[in-house]
């Protein structure tokens, strides 16, 4: 296959695996709903300086991904597809840049396997599917970091300028981390290769780079600081960065090994070779124009940052995947059957076979023991091809056909991603409380939230949902809007029971989360301002009052029969 044909394969494969069903799956996860909803509000207001969600200042992220989502809404109309389409394109661009970098320095074979490693990583695909800042940060960090290397070793200023522009844009995705990751990677590379000298530092043109980064990023940071009187700046830099780094927030803590586990699992199926690939990269780090060593340290920098961070999440380390995908591609191409690596290779493939069996079994048990999702437990059967792939991998390893082992692993996980997004996950997604609520209630009616609620309601209601903090505020809201729906969580039911006329309309556990969403409303017969019962006019006045209340509680009853 020619280079052009391979690039076309990567483009089509990336669009398929990274973009399958992006328009059909709900914008439901907390981060997606808040980010996509914030982009909608900025787009609707035409205000691209101050980010808000539910009409409240959103301090969590800078604005670049909001701009891409707003562009999607402008081009394609508001919806899930428009919110996610540029995330997919960023992922495909990252995939292609990984191939081009590896081909430039390590040869076509390594480049193709490196791109396959990234293409079939199910975790990478999940991340790219989402309307969040991570796909954009991953892309800009990847091309920015590699641009620094190309500009340094080939002494080409154009690559350095392009790299600093990318890093500046990365800082508009998630803030200082967009500068720290490539900066620390270059620092470790220079230290490890004994090239940390002033002359080598100046070859990176750091002062020009700093100027470009500031030129790109500072105007918006100054604008939002001025527009919010410093509120966004204080919350973002101190709470969302320093505090999140120094303190485990939202229960996402753990020992440093948890970060390693995220990387190992995230790079599956080829993550099982990660340790021997790192060992080989360390041994060969001074060869091949040091591209291997550079990728080693660029990934290690990201791993170090989030290993010492108190808050740990699986998506934090995804930016290192392109760099270590190159190391894995290098290892796969240069693998040799030797007595010295017999134990390691059998452990790797044996563990892969074990995971191939455990994944469908674990999925079945997880669905079967979930009260909401137990009817979907049969979906686990759609992954039974995985144990077959694990068995084939063991057989080919026994035959000492490592290339066939790798092909089986790649095909199995490509199928895993396709089956997951194309068949298994869509019916599960339809069980989320926001989707179910949209089938049962009219989101155009007045909506209020009591203390806490799922933010995806804001995205789909396309309007502000005022948050009520206490029962007094709730009573005032119901007096003004008796027909309103009250959205909250099950743990607030005791408090809500003080408003005795409220009746439970919906109760549904949030998917993959601890809370359970509830929706309440005053029945029509208890609502003196809405169509109700009047003994003199209503056509049901001949019936007992209890019967009238029962009948008029139905949503479908014609107002003629319950006319005020």
Q: Where are the beta strands (DSSP E) in 127-217?
A: none
| Rounded Cα distance, 404 and 394, in Å | 10
| Rounded Cα distance, 92 and 17, in Å | 10
pLDDT higher than 60, residue 458: yes
Of residues 71, 31, 32, 27, the one with CA closest to residue 48: 71
DSSP letters, 445-478, are: S-EEEES---THHHHHHTS--PEE-SHHHHHHHH
User: Within a 13 Å sphere around the CA of 405, how many CA atoms are in the beta-carbon half?
Assistant: 25
| Domain 434-522, classified CATH 3.40.190, yes or no | yes
- Domains of the chain: which residue ranges? 3-234, 434-522, 530-564
pLDDT tens digits, residue range 509-555?
Answer: 998 888 999 999 988 655 444 444 443 345 555 565 556 655 655 54
Mean pLDDT of the 390-398 span: 95
Within 10 Å of residue 194's Cβ, how many Cβ atoms? Answer: 8
pLDDT higher than 70, residue 36: yes
| Rounded Cα distance, 444 and 531, in Å | 18
Cα-Cα end-to-end distance for the chain: 76
pLDDT tens digits, residue range 206-256?
Answer: 999 999 999 999 999 999 999 999 999 999 988 887 777 777 656 566 677
pTM: 0.90
């Amino acid at each position: 296959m020619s280079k052009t044909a391979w690039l076309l394969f990567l483009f089509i494969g990336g669009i398929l695996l990274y973009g399958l069903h992006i328009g059909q799956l709900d914008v439901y996860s907390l981060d997606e709903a808040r980010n996509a909803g914030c982009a909608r509000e900025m787009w609707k207001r035409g205000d691209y300086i101050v980010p808000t969600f539910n009409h409240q200042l959103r301090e969590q992220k800078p604005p670049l991904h909001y701009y891409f989502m707003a562009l999607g809404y402008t081009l394609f109309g508001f919806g899930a597809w428009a919110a996610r389409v540029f995330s997919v394109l960023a992922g495909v661009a990252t995939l292609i840049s990984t191939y081009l970098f590896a081909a430039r320095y390590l040869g076509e074979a390594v480049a193709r396997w490196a791109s396959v490693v990234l293409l079939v990583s199910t975790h990478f695909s999940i991340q790219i599917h989402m309307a969040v800042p991570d796909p954009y940060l991953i892309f800009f960090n990847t091309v920015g970091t590699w641009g620094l290397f190309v500009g340094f070793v080939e002494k080409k200023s154009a690559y350095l300028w392009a790299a600093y522009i990318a890093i500046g844009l990365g800082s508009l995705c998630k803030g200082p981390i967009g500068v720290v990751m490539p900066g620390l990677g270059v620092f470790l590379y220079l230290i490890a290769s004994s090239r940390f000298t002033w002359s080598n530092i100046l070859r990176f043109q750091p002062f020009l780079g700093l100027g470009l980064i500031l030129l790109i990023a500072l105007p918006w940071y100054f604008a939002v600081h001025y527009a919010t009187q410093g509120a966004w700046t204080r919350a973002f830099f101190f709470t969302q960065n320093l505090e999140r780094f120094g303190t485990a927030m939202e229960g996402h803590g753990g020992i440093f090994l948890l970060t390693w586990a995220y990387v190992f699992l995230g790079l599956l199926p080829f993550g099982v070779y990660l340790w021997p690939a790192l060992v080989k990269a360390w041994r060969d780090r001074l060869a091949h124009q040091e591209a291997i060593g550079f990728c080693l340290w660029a990934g290690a920098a990201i791993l170090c940052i989030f290993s010492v961070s108190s808050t740990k999440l699986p998506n934090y380390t995804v930016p290192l995947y392109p760099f270590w995908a190159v190391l894995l591609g290098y290892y796969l191409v240069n693998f040799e059957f030797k007595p010295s690596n017999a134990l390691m290779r059998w452990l790797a493939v044996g563990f892969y076979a074990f995971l191939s069996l455990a994944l469908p079994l674990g999925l079945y048990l997880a669905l079967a023991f979930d009260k909401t999702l137990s009817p979907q437990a049969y979906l686990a059967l759609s992954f039974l091809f995985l144990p077959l792939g694990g068995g084939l991998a063991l057989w080919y390893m026994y035959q000492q056909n490592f290339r066939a082992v790798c092909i089986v692993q790649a095909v199995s996980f490509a199928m895993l991603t396709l089956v997951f997004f194309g068949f298994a996950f869509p019916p599960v997604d339809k069980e989320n409380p926001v989707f179910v609520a949209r089938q049962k209630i009219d989101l155009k009616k007045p909506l209020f939230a009591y203390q806490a609620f799922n933010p995806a309601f804001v995205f789909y209601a396309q309007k502000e949902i005022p948050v009520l903090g206490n029962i007094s505020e709730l009573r005032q809201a119901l007096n003004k809007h008796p027909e309103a729906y009250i959205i909250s969580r099950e743990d607030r039911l005791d408090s809500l029971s003080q408003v005795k006329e409220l009746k439970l309309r919906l109760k549904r556990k949030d998917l993959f989360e601890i809370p359970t969403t509830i929706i309440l409303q005053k029945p029509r017969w208890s609502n003196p301002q809405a169509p109700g019962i009047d003994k003199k006019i209503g056509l049901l006045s001949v019936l007992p009052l209890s019967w009238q209340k029962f009948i008029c509680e139905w949503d479908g009853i014609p107002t003629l029969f319950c006319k005020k």
